[in-house]
């Protein structure tokens, strides 16, 4: 009987309970969550859309979010979108069809264009700058200002020619990073031309390739300025790992020849050689906030959406020259 398993909404005599539990054990009964979900209207699951589990930033985010929801009795279904609009929509449809109770999207590509269009009735939380729109909550880093602060730190060390390694150009996070770099450079009267910017795959290999382009004596910075940048602002920790490796291959010392600052602040950043100076997002905090807010909206569909921007925190390593 349903009431015994769920400590049901109505009382059960201890003798009956024992009898039922007996039968459960004897028959090897397993509850069927599918049937329960169909009837009860809740799956106790939420969908999480992330670009790539191999990027340590998203790996940490996934683990933190999973932990938060798991503690609250929810299962997190994770879909990897690889920055592809098609995959993102496929997973979104799949999650909605599976009746997740809520949806969290990080670095989403398509949501910006058609928020309301195909969203289903579930509450949605975006972990980026989200377009103004009803029924979509957002928790986002202050990408522009954080990037500017990171660049400013390099400027304080005396650097003027600071190269910039970005991720995929069409992501709002990336354009905000680049804008932060550019505005901070302009504010300091330092060079901010496109020859100093290189977009690349958000991976070690991508960061490596981009750094090669910016630092080698065949690169465009050298061609236009007669020398290489003395510092790099890198849009993610993974790419920074690749950038440090590029310096190693080119025989450039970090930070003596090239200073590096990156965005992310993952655990990975603490174990590079030298340790990275990195703009840290408090992922645990984001995850806690995300879980408690989204579940509030799950429970009470009329609850207000949330719009929150979080400032990062520059963790000082040795890669900046400090």
Is 302 a binder of a second copy (CB under 8 A)?
A: no
Question: What tokens appear for 68 in the block?
Answer: 């938060």
319 is an interface residue for a second copy by CB under 8 A: no
Q: Is 252 in the site for a second copy (CB under 8 A)?
A: no
Residues 14-33, interacting with a second copy (CB under 8 A): 30-33
The correct pick among 17, 63, 199, 225 for binding a second copy (CB under 8 A) is: 63
9 binding DNA? (CB under 7 A): yes
Picked from a second copy, DNA, none, the partner binding residue 8 (CB below 5 to 8 A depending on kind) is DNA
Is there binding between residue 72 and a second copy (CB under 8 A)?
no
Q: Token pair of 58, please? A: 């998203």
Structure tokens at 281: 């997002």
Q: CA distances (Å), 178 to each of 199, 261, 269, 304, in order?
A: 10, 14, 21, 32
In the complex, the smallest distance separating the C-beta of residue 1 from DNA, rounded to whole angstroms, is 6
CB hemisphere CA count around 234 (13 angstroms): 37
Q: Are strands 197-199 and 75-80 parallel, antiparallel or unpaired?
A: unpaired
| Nearest Cα residue to 129 out of 289, 284, 264, 310 | 310
Spatial strand order of the sheet with 45-50 comes to: 75-80, 45-50, 102-105, 124-126, 136-141, 307-310
Binder of DNA out of 26, 27, 28, 39 (CB under 7 A): 39
CA 90 to chain centre: 20
Judged by CB under 8 A, which stretch of 6-14, 135-143, 217-225, 243-251 contacts a second copy?
A: 243-251
* Spatial separation of the C-alpha atoms in residues 322 and 314, rounded to whole Å: 12
Residue 59 touches which of a second copy, DNA, none (Cβ within 5-8 Å per kind): a second copy
Does 2 participate in binding DNA (rule CB under 7 A)?
A: yes
d(CA 265, CA 242): 15
Do residues 48 and 79 make contact, with C-beta atoms less than 8 angstroms apart?
yes
Which backbone phi and psi does 163 adopt, to 5 degrees?
A: -75, 165
Q: Pick from 25, 26, 28, 32 the residue near DNA by CB under 7 A.
A: 32
| Residue 271 to residues 237, 238, 255, Cα–Cα distance (Å) | 11, 12, 15
Decide: is 10 part of the binding site for DNA (CB under 7 A): yes
DSSP letters, 232-250, are EEESSHHHHHHHHHHHHHH
User: Which of the choices a second copy, DNA, none does residue 315 contact, using the CB cut-off of 5 to 8 A by kind?
Assistant: none
Question: Is 113 a binder of a second copy (CB under 8 A)?
Answer: no
Which stretch in 23-31, 141-149, 173-181, 216-224 sits in contact with DNA by CB under 7 A? Answer: 23-31
- Name the residues that contact a second copy, by CB under 8 A: 30-35, 37-38, 43, 52-54, 56, 59-60, 62-63, 66-67, 75, 77-80, 94, 96-99, 120, 203-205, 208, 241-242, 244-245, 248, 267-268, 270-271, 273-274
- Name the residues that contact DNA, by CB under 7 A: 1-3, 5-6, 8-13, 15-16, 29-32, 35-36, 38-40
């Amino acid at each position: 009987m349903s009431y015994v398993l769920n400590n049901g909404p109505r009382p059960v005599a201890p003798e009956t309970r024992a009898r039922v539990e007996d039968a459960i054990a004897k028959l090897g009964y397993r509850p069927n969550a599918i049937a329960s979900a169909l009837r009860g209207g809740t799956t106790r699951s939420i969908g999480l859309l992330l670009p790539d589990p191999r990027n340590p930033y998203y790996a940490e985010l996934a683990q933190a979010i999973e932990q938060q929801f798991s503690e609250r009795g929810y299962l997190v279904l994770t879909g990897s979108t690889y920055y592809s609009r098609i995959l993102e929509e496929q997973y979104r449809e799949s999650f909605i069809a599976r009746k997740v109770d809520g949806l969290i999207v990080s670095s989403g590509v398509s949501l910006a264009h058609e928020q309301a269009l195909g969203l289903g009735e579930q509450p949605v939380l975006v972990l980026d700058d989200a377009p103004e729109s009803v029924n979509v909550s957002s928790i986002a880093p202050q990408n522009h200002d954080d990037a500017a602060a990171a660049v400013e730190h390099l400027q304080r060390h005396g650097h003027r020619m600071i190269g910039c390694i970005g991720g995929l150009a069409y992501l709002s996070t990336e354009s905000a990073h680049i804008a932060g770099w550019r505005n901070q450079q302009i504010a300091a009267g330092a060079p901010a031309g496109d020859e100093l910017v290189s977009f690349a795959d958000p991976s070690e290999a991508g960061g490596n390739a981009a750094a090669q382009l910016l630092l080698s004596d065949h690169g465009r910075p050298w061609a236009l300025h007669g020398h290489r940048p003395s510092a790099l602002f890198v849009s993610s920790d993974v790419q920074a790992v690749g950038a440090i490796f590029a310096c190693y291959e080119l025989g450039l010392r970090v930070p003596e020849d090239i200073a590096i600052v990156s965005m992310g602040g993952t655990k990975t950043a603490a174990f590079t050689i030298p340790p990275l100076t990195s703009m840290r997002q408090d992922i645990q905090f984001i995850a806690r906030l995300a879980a408690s807010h989204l579940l509030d909206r799950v429970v009470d569909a009329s609850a207000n959406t949330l719009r929150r921007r979080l400032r990062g925190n520059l963790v000082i390593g040795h890669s900046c020259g400090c």
